[in-house]
Structure 1
Amino acid sequence: MKKPSELRSFSGPHFGISIGLADGRLASIRRTRDGAQIYADDGGDRGLRACVGGIPRPFPNRGGVDSWRCIVDGRPADSVFVGGAAVYEGLEQTDLGDALQISVRQRDGLWRFVTHYIMEKADPVLRMDWEIHYNGEDSQRLHFLEWKWADWAFADQRFPWQTDKGNFQTQPLRDGGSIVLWRKDDGEWWQWNLAPAPSRSVECRLFVGGRLSGGQHGFRGGGFHIGLSDGIGAASADIVPRWYASHHLHALGMPATRPVHNAHIYETFIGWRMIVGETTGTPPQRLEPYPTTEALAADLPRIKALGFDTIYLMPRQPFPGYTTASLTDPALQYGDGEGTGGRFRSLTKAIHALGMSVIVDVVLHGGMDHCTLDFQDGIIDSLPGNWGKNNHLAHSEIWRSEAPKQHPLWEAHPEWFCQFEDGRAQIGYTRAFDLRHPGFQEYFVQSLASLVSEYGIDGFRFDAPWWTIFAYRWKEDAGYRASWQAGAAAQLVSRLHLAVQRVKPDTIFFMESSDPFTCQPAHLKYPYAVQRIVLTQMQKKLMTARVAREALSYLRKVRLPGVSVAHWMVDSHDSVWAYRWNEKWLHRHVGLPLARAFAGLVAFEDGALMSFTGSETHMEEWFRLLMRLRRELPVLAHGQCDELAVLCDNEHVFPLWRWLDCEWLLPVVNFSNETQTVRLGLPSHPVVPRGCALKDHLDPAANIRWGGDGDELLVDLPPCATRLIGASHPVTERND
Structure 2
Amino acid sequence: MISYVEHQGIRIGYDASTGELKSMGWNGRQELTFSLPLIQFDTDGESGPNNDGQMVRVQGTNRIGAEDGCLLSAFFSPGEADEDAVLTLNRTIDREWEMSLTFRIGRSDVALRVALRNKGTTDRVVRSLKWTLGGMGRNRLRDCEILMPGYAPEVELPYLPRRPLDEYPNPMQFATEGATPYGADEPGNRSGIMGIYDAKEGVALLTWWVSDTFPMKSRLLRIDDQVTRESTVYCPCRLAPEESVEIGTFYFGRFVGDRVDAVKQAASSFAPYRYAGEPIQDRRGLSICEIQVGEKMARTVFESYHDVIQRLEDIRELGFNALEIMPRFPFPSYSVYDFYDIETTFGDQAGLIELVKAAHKAGIKVIIDIVFHGPLEEEPKDWCMPEGNYRFDSPYLEGHPEWFSRHENGDFARTYTRSFDLSNPELQHHIADAMIHLIRVLNVDGFRLDAQTWNFFPNWDPTIDRPPYAALYAGYRMIEEIGAKVAVQYPHKIMYTEGCGPLVARYHPYRYNYDYHWIYPAMATVIDPRGMSDKFWRKASENTLVWSDLAEWLEEAEAAIPDGVEVVHHTDSHDSHEWAGFHQGQFNREAFGLDAHRVFVGMAAFMKGGFMSFYGAELGNEAFYRRLLPLRHHKTVAFGDCSYTGMIADDSRIIAILWTNGQRWLLYVANSDGAEKSVEMRLSRSKHTHFIQTDSMKWEVNDLMNPTESLRMLSDTDMIEGWSLQLDAYGVRVLEGTPLER
Which of the five TM-score ranges fits, normalised by the shorter chain?
0.7 to 0.9
Structure-2 separation of matches of 1:113 and 1:680: 62
SS in 2 for 1:678: strand
Q: Determine whether 1:206 maps to 2:233.
A: yes
1:701 CA displacement: 4.4
Structure 1 stretch 607-616 or stretch 292-301: which is displaced more?
292-301
Report if the CA contact (8 A) 1:535-1:548 is conserved: no
RMSD: 2.7
Match of 1:719 among 683, 706, 729: 729
Structure-1 separation of matches of 2:621 and 2:512: 23
Report if the CA contact (8 A) 2:404-2:412 is conserved: yes
Q: Counterpart amino acid of 1:71?
A: M
Report if the CA contact (8 A) 2:505-2:565 is conserved: yes
What does the per-residue CA deviation read over 1:222-271, in whole Å, with 9 as the maximum and x for residues that have no partner?
212223322343333221453344xx432131279x94321110001111
2:182 corresponds in structure 1 to none
Match of 1:515 among 483, 501, 511: 501
What does the per-residue CA deviation read over 1:577-608, in whole Å, with 9 as the maximum and x for residues that have no partner?
11364993112212211111111122222321
Q: Determine whether 1:93 maps to 2:76.
A: yes
Match of 1:38 among 17, 31, 36: 31
Report if the CA contact (8 A) 1:57-1:70 is conserved: yes
Task: State the number of aligned residues.
Answer: 669
TM-score using structure 1 length: 0.85
1:705 CA displacement: 7.6
2:486 corresponds in structure 1 to 500
Q: Determine whether 1:333 maps to 2:345.
A: yes
1:10 corresponds in structure 2 to 5
Cα gap change, 1:101 to 1:393, in 2 (>3 Å): same
Q: Determine whether 1:694 maps to 2:701.
A: yes
What does the per-residue CA deviation read over 1:463-494, in whole Å, with 9 as the maximum and x for residues that have no partner?
11222222x11112221211111112233111
Q: Counterpart amino acid of 1:476?
A: P
1:313 CA displacement: 0.9
Cα gap change, 1:40 to 1:181, in 2 (>3 Å): closer
1:386 corresponds in structure 2 to none
Q: Counterpart amino acid of 2:133?
A: W
Match of 1:525 among 500, 508, 511: 511
Report if the CA contact (8 A) 2:112-2:248 is conserved: yes
What does the per-residue CA deviation read over 1:437-465, in whole Å, with 9 as the maximum and x for residues that have no partner?
11111111111111112220110111112
1:408-487 superposed matches below 5 A: 408-420=395-407, 423-470=410-457, 472-487=458-473
Match of 2:384 among 394, 401, 413: 394
1:46 CA displacement: 4.2
Report if the CA contact (8 A) 2:698-2:739 is conserved: no
Structure-2 separation of matches of 1:259 and 1:303: 21
Q: Counterpart amino acid of 1:82?
A: I
2:537 corresponds in structure 1 to none
1:345 corresponds in structure 2 to 353
1:691 CA displacement: 5.2
1:272 CA displacement: 0.9
What does the per-residue CA deviation read over 1:169-212, in whole Å, with 9 as the maximum and x for residues that have no partner?
24324454213333222322222222345461111211111111
Cα gap change, 1:207 to 1:140, in 2 (>3 Å): same
Structure-2 separation of matches of 1:254 and 1:398: 46
1:416 CA displacement: 0.8
1:623 corresponds in structure 2 to 625
Q: Determine whether 1:134 maps to 2:139.
A: no
1:7-86 superposed matches below 5 A: 7-13=2-8, 15-32=10-27, 35-41=28-34, 43=35, 45-58=36-49, 66-73=50-57, 76-86=58-68
1:153 corresponds in structure 2 to 137
Q: Counterpart amino acid of 1:441?
A: Q
Structure 1 stretch 200-209 or stretch 162-171: which is displaced more?
162-171
> Unpaired segments of 5 or more residues in structure 2?
153-188, 525-541
Report if the CA contact (8 A) 1:83-1:111 is conserved: no
Q: Counterpart amino acid of 1:522?
A: H
Q: Determine whether 1:270 maps to 2:255.
A: no
Structure-1 separation of matches of 2:22 and 2:710: 61
Cα gap change, 1:506 to 1:172, in 2 (>3 Å): same
Q: Determine whether 1:488 maps to 2:474.
A: yes
TM-score using structure 2 length: 0.84
What does the per-residue CA deviation read over 1:139-181, in whole Å, with 9 as the maximum and x for residues that have no partner?
0111111122233227453247553842242432445421333
Report if the CA contact (8 A) 2:656-2:670 is conserved: yes
Cα gap change, 1:420 to 1:394, in 2 (>3 Å): closer
Structure-2 separation of matches of 1:673 and 1:236: 37
2:365 corresponds in structure 1 to 357
Structure 1 stretch 229-238 or stretch 622-631: which is displaced more?
229-238
Structure-2 separation of matches of 1:86 and 1:622: 67
Cα gap change, 1:287 to 1:180, in 2 (>3 Å): farther
Cα gap change, 1:255 to 1:634, in 2 (>3 Å): closer
1:702 CA displacement: 8.5
Structure-1 separation of matches of 2:367 and 2:354: 15
SS in 2 for 1:67: coil
1:304 CA displacement: 1.2
Report if the CA contact (8 A) 2:148-2:195 is conserved: no
Report if the CA contact (8 A) 1:110-1:134 is conserved: no
**Percent of pairs identical after alignment?**
20
1:36 CA displacement: 2.8
Structure-2 separation of matches of 1:403 and 1:180: 51
Structure-2 separation of matches of 1:86 and 1:103: 19
Structure 1 stretch 433-442 or stretch 186-195: which is displaced more?
186-195
Structure-2 separation of matches of 1:620 and 1:594: 14
Cα gap change, 1:585 to 1:96, in 2 (>3 Å): farther
Report if the CA contact (8 A) 1:26-1:47 is conserved: yes
Cα gap change, 1:506 to 1:236, in 2 (>3 Å): same
1:55 CA displacement: 2.2
Cα gap change, 1:514 to 1:151, in 2 (>3 Å): same
Cα gap change, 1:253 to 1:545, in 2 (>3 Å): same
> Unpaired segments of 5 or more residues in structure 1?
1-5, 59-65, 275-285, 378-391
Cα gap change, 1:698 to 1:86, in 2 (>3 Å): farther
2:527 corresponds in structure 1 to none
Q: Counterpart amino acid of 1:40?
A: T
Structure-1 separation of matches of 2:613 and 2:704: 23
Q: Determine whether 1:116 maps to 2:140.
A: no
Report if the CA contact (8 A) 2:290-2:323 is conserved: yes
Cα gap change, 1:578 to 1:543, in 2 (>3 Å): same
Structure-2 separation of matches of 1:88 and 1:108: 7
Structure-1 separation of matches of 2:20 and 2:265: 27
Q: Counterpart amino acid of 2:602?
A: G
2:216 corresponds in structure 1 to 190
Structure-2 separation of matches of 1:414 and 1:360: 26
